[in-house]
């Protein structure tokens, strides 16, 4: 099933075929007192050096849980990885002992969180927090770590970094706080940066600044980035490829241009149609009818079928496989071809 | 670049400097003083008369315990039966007790044992509570289940009953051993409330994103507990312990009053209250003076704890 995912585009290809990071057929469930919630149901995606993958989906689609599984910071209990592999440079992180995984965190793969205020420790100055990692992981001296922290704060364009290094998180504005968070994540020069809804907690003008910053940093530092978001508008300018998630599965996987031009899954199509557009005024905004599925009772067949305008009997009965379309895209829909041709029109 | 944010944040700084900006502050102009939780609490405390009153009382009692000679020139052990229940004279402003000892001098010297017991019991209580509460709250699961039941069990033991049983074993020991024993008993029986407070604040802190962020950057359990969770769950524990310090002093007095705590030659308020009670009909001052000292000290610590708690609670601000 994994070979059916997209071919790497020439620009992002890694030599010798192996991917920098690859999630293979991951299953995660939350075992709660009310029952088992199947949060991730066979997710596979990969990331090559230097590219940006956007993981798109609404709340509860499992996009953040996948990221937490990659970082190894799932709360378990209740979370439980049932099966699957997470390969980083060919080694499976899930089977590694905790001590080895700890070495990967921060240094190889780092993550930035949605709400920077709660992701920063309120009782320490931001400079201390950035340099803590440097001191404990790199064995830097206090003075060196401080110097490096100022460099990092400059790198993420915090004005007057030297003066603000002693300030506490609550003394920063939302955008500046997110920059501090990014500086912390970059401290150990990770090769992969996972940004979990980095702009959701910010207002629109600041959102654009943070996205630009992330794009610049990714380019300048040569990192690979996984951008988790539910905002299609944020993705377009930054990502190389998009994986759309629904009910713990990747329903569509394509490069940005072809996905925006002609979505091949009814869910993606619905998402794109529900973006407010300036050139279409005075009409009611299109929506996707119905609600996201209850993860304890995922619908039979295609999980999207109760909300799908293309629904047929086969959708209720058969779980669709990833259908490989041209130009290296996949869509988990029985009618992928029709949907794409429909949207292209 | 984020011109908008820069402007906004410098406006913020200016606004923040405004009300609190003392013109004579030694800070150089333009450098804004970091406003931390502790800083805010301090600004709050400075304006609270209860805080100052309790602080003065605590300071006086502490000074009394360290250098009792500052407060009285008389020797509390210098007892002459011919002065039995005599009225005030010389340095003895409250007169003499049944044994002919200076009532005031005894109350002054009694502060040492009381404070020592109170402070050390609170300290050990704090250590036990932090360790137990941290482990239970951080690891959860069966660790939490076991430790929480231990807390429940210890909490169920009546303090006085257990203290009587335990202290009977050292009834013939010397004065230092007795003090140690009393501290031990109070700490072993008194840590539970503080441990519950620590546990609950650790549970709150460990769910925070900054703990996940620290883990994401490769911090281990020890580091996360020590550096990220402990500082964020310490404030409520400090408040509980300040209040506990007062109750420990009262508990020591109770034990000594019952004859199972401290004994002569150690001077303590509890013992003096006990002897004063026996001879209350002949003279009441030997009962009233140590009782008043005890009441004021306990009150001072509890008020201090209260004031600190209020100052650290942003909702009351």
Alpha helices for chain A (secondary structure H): 63-71, 98-104, 116-119, 126-138, 142-155, 161-164, 174-186, 204-221, 232-235, 256-261, 266-273, 313-317, 336-344
* C-beta separation of B298 from B246 below 8 A: yes
**Of A220, A201, A105, which Cα lies nearest the Cα of A156?**
A220
Task: Please give, rounded to a whole number of angstroms, the shortest distance from the CA of A244 to a CA of chain B.
Answer: 25
User: What per-residue confidence (pLDDT) applies to A210?
Assistant: 86
Ordered domains of chain B (ranges, CATH): 40-316 (1.10.3720.10)
Residue A37: enclosing H or E segment and its boundaries? strand A35-47
pLDDT at A206 over 70: yes
Residue A177 falls within a domain, yes or no?
no
pLDDT at B36 over 90: no
**Of A43, A228, A191, which Cα lies nearest the Cα of A107?**
A191
Torsion angle, alpha carbons of B20, B26, B31, B32, to 10:
-20
Q: What would the mean pLDDT of A174-197 be, rounded to a whole number?
A: 88
Number of domains in chain A: 1
A252: containing domain = 2-108+190-276+286-344
Beta bridge pairs of residue B4: none
Regarding predicted confidence, which is higher, A84 or B264?
Answer: A84
pLDDT tens sequence across B150-208: 999 999 988 888 888 888 877 676 777 888 888 999 999 889 989 999 999 999 888 88
pLDDT at B134 over 70: yes
Residue A169 falls within a domain, yes or no?
no
User: Does the interface predicted TM-score (ipTM) exceed 0.85?
Assistant: no
Compare all CA atoms of chain B with the CA of A103 and give the residue at the minimum distance: B218
Choose from A75, A104, A107, A119 for mutation: most chain B CBs within 10 A. Answer: A119
Show which of residues 117-146 on chain B sit within 8 Å of chain A, judged by CB atoms.
Answer: 141
CA distances from B71 to B104, B106, B223, B297 (A): 9, 11, 47, 16
Q: What would the mean pLDDT of A77-89 be, rounded to a whole number?
A: 86
Q: Report d(CA A27, CA A145) in Å as an integer.
A: 40
Residue A164 falls within a domain, yes or no?
no
Residue A140, phi then psi, degrees to nearest 5: -70, 155
Measure CA A115 to chain center: 15
User: What per-residue confidence (pLDDT) applies to B26?
Assistant: 42
Task: Please give, rounded to a whole number of angstroms, the shortest distance from the CA of A67 to a CA of chain B.
Answer: 11
Compare all CA atoms of chain A with the CA of B212 and give the residue at the minimum distance: A73
* C-beta separation of A60 from A32 below 8 A: no
User: What per-residue confidence (pLDDT) applies to A80?
Assistant: 85
pTM for the full model? 0.70
User: What per-residue confidence (pLDDT) applies to A225?
Assistant: 92
CATH number for the domain harbouring residue A24: 3.40.50.300
- Tokens describing residue A273: 């149609």
Closest CB from A113, A137, A172 relative to B209: A113
Look over chain A and give the mean of its residue pLDDT values, rounded to a whole number.
84
User: What per-residue confidence (pLDDT) applies to B99?
Assistant: 76
Q: Is the minimum CB–CB distance between A119 and chain B shorter than 8 Å?
A: yes
Compare all CA atoms of chain B with the CA of A190 and give the residue at the minimum distance: B217
User: What per-residue confidence (pLDDT) applies to B27?
Assistant: 40
Question: What letters, b where the CB count within 10 A reaches 16 and e where it falls short, cover B2-32?
Answer: beebeeebeeeeeeebeeeeeeeeeeeeeeb
- The 3-class SS string of A247-289 reads CCEEEEEEEHHHHHHCCCCHHHHHHHHCCCCCCCCCCCCCCCC
Candidate ranges A5-19, A36-50, A318-332; pick with highest mean pLDDT: A36-50
User: What per-residue confidence (pLDDT) applies to A174?
Assistant: 84
CA torsion sign for A181, A183, A188, A191 is: positive
pLDDT tens sequence across A104-132: 888 889 998 888 788 888 888 888 888 88
Task: Please give, rounded to a whole number of angstroms, the shortest distance from the CA of B158 to a CA of chain A.
Answer: 36
- The 3-class SS string of A38-54 reads EEEEEEEEEECCCCEEE
Q: Report d(CA B161, CA B163) in Å as an integer.
A: 5
User: What per-residue confidence (pLDDT) applies to A2?
Assistant: 42
CA torsion sign for A296, A301, A304, A308 is: negative
Task: Please give, rounded to a whole number of angstroms, the shortest distance from the CA of B225 to a CA of chain A.
Answer: 12
Beta bridge pairs of residue A243: A55, A253
What is the count of residue pairs from A and B with beta carbons less than 8 Å apart?
95
pLDDT tens sequence across B143-155: 999 999 999 999 9
Candidate ranges B10-14, B134-138, B307-311; pick with highest mean pLDDT: B134-138
pLDDT at B77 over 80: no
Closest CB from A168, A175, A188 relative to B36: A168
Choose from A69, A121, A192 for mutation: most chain B CBs within 10 A. Answer: A121
Q: Report d(CA A77, CA A75) in Å as an integer.
A: 6
pLDDT at B37 over 80: no
* C-beta separation of B105 from B72 below 8 A: yes
pLDDT at A149 over 70: yes
């Amino acid at each position: 099933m994994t070979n059916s995912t997209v071919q790497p585009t020439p620009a992002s290809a890694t030599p010798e075929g192996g991917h920098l990071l690859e999630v293979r057929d991951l299953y995660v469930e939350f075992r709660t007192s009310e029952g088992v919630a199947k949060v991730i149901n066979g997710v596979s995606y990969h990331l090559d050096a230097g590219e940006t993958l956007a993981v798109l989906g609404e709340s509860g689609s499992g996009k953040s849980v996948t990221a937490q599984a990659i970082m190894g910071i799932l709360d378990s209990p209740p979370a439980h990885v049932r099966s699957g592999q997470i390969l980083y440079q060919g080694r499976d992180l899930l089977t590694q002992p905790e001590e080895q995984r700890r070495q990967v965190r921060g240094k190889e793969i780092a993550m930035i969180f949605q709400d920077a205020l709660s992701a920063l420790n309120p009782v320490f100055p931001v400079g201390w927090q950035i340099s803590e990692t440097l001191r404990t992981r790199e064995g830097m001296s206090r003075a060196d770590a401080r110097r490096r922290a100022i460099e990092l704060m400059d790198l993420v364009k915090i004005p007057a970094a030297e003066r603000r290094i002693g300030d506490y998180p609550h003394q920063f504005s939302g955008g500046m706080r997110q920059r501090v968070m990014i500086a912390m994540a970059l401290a150990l020069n990770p090769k992969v940066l996972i940004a979990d809804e980095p702009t959701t907690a910010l207002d629109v003008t600041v959102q654009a600044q943070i996205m630009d910053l992330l794009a610049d940093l990714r380019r300048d530092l040569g990192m690979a980035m996984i951008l988790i978001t539910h905002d299609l508008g944020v993705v377009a300018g930054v990502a190389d490829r998009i994986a759309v998630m629904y009910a713990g599965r990747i329903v569509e996987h394509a490069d940005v241009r072809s996905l925006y031009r002609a979505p091949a899954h009814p869910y993606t199509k619905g998402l794109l149609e529900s973006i407010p557009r300036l050139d279409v005024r005075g009409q009611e905004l299109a929506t996707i009818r119905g609600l996201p599925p209850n993860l304890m009772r995922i619908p039979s067949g295609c999980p999207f079928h109760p909300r799908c305008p293309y629904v047929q009997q086969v959708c209720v009965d058969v779980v669709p496989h990833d259908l490989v379309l041209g130009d290296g895209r996949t869509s988990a829909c029985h009618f992928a071809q029709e949907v794409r041709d429909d949207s292209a029109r | 670049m984020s011109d908008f944010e820069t402007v906004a944040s410098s406006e913020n700084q200016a606004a923040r400097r405004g009300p609190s900006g003392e013109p004579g502050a030694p800070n150089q102009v333009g450098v804004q003083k970091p406003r931390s939780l502790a800083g805010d609490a301090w600004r709050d405390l400075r304006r609270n008369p209860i805080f100052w009153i309790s602080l003065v009382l605590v300071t006086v009692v502490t000074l009394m315990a360290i250098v009792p000679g500052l407060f009285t020139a008389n020797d509390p052990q210098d007892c002459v039966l011919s002065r039995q229940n005599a009225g005030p004279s010389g340095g003895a402003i409250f007169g003499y007790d049944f044994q002919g000892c200076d009532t005031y001098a005894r109350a002054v010297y009694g502060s040492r044992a009381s404070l020592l017991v109170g402070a050390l019991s609170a300290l050990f209580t704090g250590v036990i509570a932090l360790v137990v509460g941290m482990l239970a709250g951080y690891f959860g699961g069966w660790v939490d289940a076991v430790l929480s039941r231990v807390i429940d069990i210890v909490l169920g033991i009546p303090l006085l009953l257990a203290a009587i049983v335990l202290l009977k074993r050292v009834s013939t020991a010397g004065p230092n051993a007795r003090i140690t024993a009393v501290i031990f008993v109070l700490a072993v029986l008194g840590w539970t409330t503080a441990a519950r407070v620590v546990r609950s604040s650790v549970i709150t802190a460990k769910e925070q994103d900054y703990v996940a962020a620290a883990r994401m950057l490769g911090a281990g359990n020890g580091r996360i507990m020590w550096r990220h969770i402990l500082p964020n769950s310490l404030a409520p524990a400090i408040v509980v312990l300040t209040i506990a310090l007062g109750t420990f002093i009262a508990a020591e007095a109770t034990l000594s009053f019952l004859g199972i705590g401290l004994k002569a030659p150690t001077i303590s308020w509890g013992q003096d209250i006990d002897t004063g009670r026996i001879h209350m009909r002949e003279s009441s001052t030997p009962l009233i003076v140590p009782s008043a000292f005890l009441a004021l000290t306990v009150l001072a610590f509890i008020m201090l704890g209260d004031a600190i708690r209020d100052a650290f609670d942003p909702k009351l601000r």
